[in-house]
Amino acid sequence: MGKIIAVAQHKGGTGKTTTCINLGASLCDMGKTVLVVDLDPQASFTLSMGINPLEVKNSIHQVLVDPTVDIKSNSITNQTPLDIAKERYAKGEINKDQFMQIKKDLED
């Protein structure tokens, strides 16, 4: 079972987006499979990933307001977490122990 980390702070400009970017990247470096959901209408995280939010056909907004919209169609990748882990293992981005740990985490 995965862990959910929410980064929230009412005050603006306090490093929320910066924290998401670096926390996400650091967890990836540790071999974790990470899904970042950008719920901020400013879409700063999306922009920082090199994605133009104006070109995203369905955003998380549609997922939240329209129950017929499938969240998988909104993900940048619709691979399963295990698919992603296999790909990363094949590319040498994670070692066998890290792959087995991810597999175990997903099964728990």
Q: How far is the CB of 25 from ligand ATP (least distance, A)?
A: 14
Closer to ligand ATP by Cβ: residue 43 or 94: 43
> Which CB, 44 or 62, lies closer to Mg ion?
44
- Write down the residue that tokens 């005050």 correspond to: 11
Q: Give the contacts of 21 (CB within 8 A, at least 6 positions apart).
A: 45, 48
- Residue placing its CB nearer to ligand ATP in the complex, 39 or 69: 39
In the numeric block, which tokens belong to residue 81? 């977490």
Instruction: Give Dmax (Cα) for the chain.
Output: 42
Positions touching Mg ion (CB under 5 A) are 16-17, 44
